[in-house]
Amino acid sequence: MKKNICANSKTFSAKTLSALCLGTASVFFAPTVLGLGPVAQAAIPAVGLPDFANLVDAVGPAVVNIRTTERLKSGGPGAGGQDEQEMQEFLRRFFGGAMPTPRQQSPKAPRGAQQEREVQRGVGSGFIISADGYVLSNAHVVDGADEVYVTLTDKREFKAKVIGADASTDVALLKIEGSNLPRITIGDSNKIRVGEWVIAIGSPFNLDNTVTAGIISAKARDTGDYLPLIQSDVAVNPGNSGGPLINMRGEVIGINSQIATLSGAYNGISFAVPIDEAMRVGEQLKKTGKVVRGRIGVQIGAVSKEVAESLGLPNDKGAQVSMVEPGGAADKAGIKPGDIILKFNGAAIERWSDLPRLVGSATVNGKATMTVWRNGVQQEVPVVVAQVDDGKTAKKDAKAPEVLGRNALGLKVSDVPAAKKQELKIDAGVQVDDADGVAALAGLQGGDVILQLNNTAVRDAKQFNALVAKLDPKKTTALLVRRGDTAQFVSLRPTAK
Could you tell me the residue ranges of all domains in the chain? Answer: 1-27+49-99+113-291, 298-384, 411-492
Task: State the Cα–Cα distance between residues 278 and 34, nearest whole angstrom.
Answer: 38
Strand 486-492 with 430-435, pairing:
unpaired
CB atoms within 10 A of CB 377: 9
Q: Which CATH architecture has domain 411-492?
A: Roll (2.30)
346 pLDDT exceeds 70? Answer: yes
pLDDT, position 79: 46
CATH 2.40.10.120 fits 1-27+49-99+113-291, yes or no: yes
Per-residue pLDDT band at 435 (split at 50, 70, 90): confident
Going by the DSSP 8-state scheme, the letter that residue 18 receives in this structure is E
Q: Of the candidates 339, 340, 336, which has an alpha carbon nearest to the alpha carbon of residue 315?
A: 340
Q: Is 140 among the residues known to form the active site?
A: yes
pLDDT, position 29: 37
pLDDT, position 423: 83
The four Cα atoms 84, 90, 91, 94 give a dihedral, to 10 degrees, of: 180
Q: Considering only 90-99, 172-181, 298-307, which range has the smallest mean pLDDT? A: 90-99
User: 344 with 372: CB under 8 angstroms?
Assistant: no
pLDDT digits (tens, 9 = 90+) for 12-64: 343 333 444 555 443 333 343 334 444 444 454 555 678 899 999 999 999 99
The CATH class, in words, for 298-384 is mainly beta
Set 143, 166, 170, 397: catalytic member: 170
3 pLDDT exceeds 50? Answer: no
pLDDT, position 383: 95
Rounded to a whole number of angstroms, the distance between the first and last alpha carbons of the chain is 72
User: 119 with 72: CB under 8 angstroms?
Assistant: yes
Mean pLDDT of the chain: 79
Set 241, 270, 310, 322: catalytic member: 241
Do 1-27+49-99+113-291 and 298-384 come out as alike in CATH topology?
no
Q: Of the candidates 113, 34, 23, which has an alpha carbon nearest to the alpha carbon of residue 68?
A: 23
Q: Is 9 among the residues known to form the active site?
A: no
Average pLDDT on 263-290 reads 88
Q: Is 434 among the residues known to form the active site?
A: no
Residue positions counted in the chain: 497
The helix/strand/coil state of 201 is strand
Identify residue 341 by its one-letter amino acid code: I
CB atoms within 10 A of CB 17: 14
pLDDT digits (tens, 9 = 90+) for 201-246: 999 988 989 999 999 999 988 765 677 899 999 999 889 999 999 9
pTM of the predicted protein model: 0.62
CA angle 145, 127, 245 (to 5 degrees): 115
Task: State the Cα–Cα distance between residues 119 and 68, nearest whole angstrom.
Answer: 9
Q: Please give the C-alpha separations between residue 407 and each of 40, 337, 458, 492, in angstroms, as whole numbers.
A: 70, 24, 15, 13
Q: Please give the C-alpha separations between residue 477 and each of 295, 313, 425, in angstroms, as whole numbers.
A: 32, 13, 25
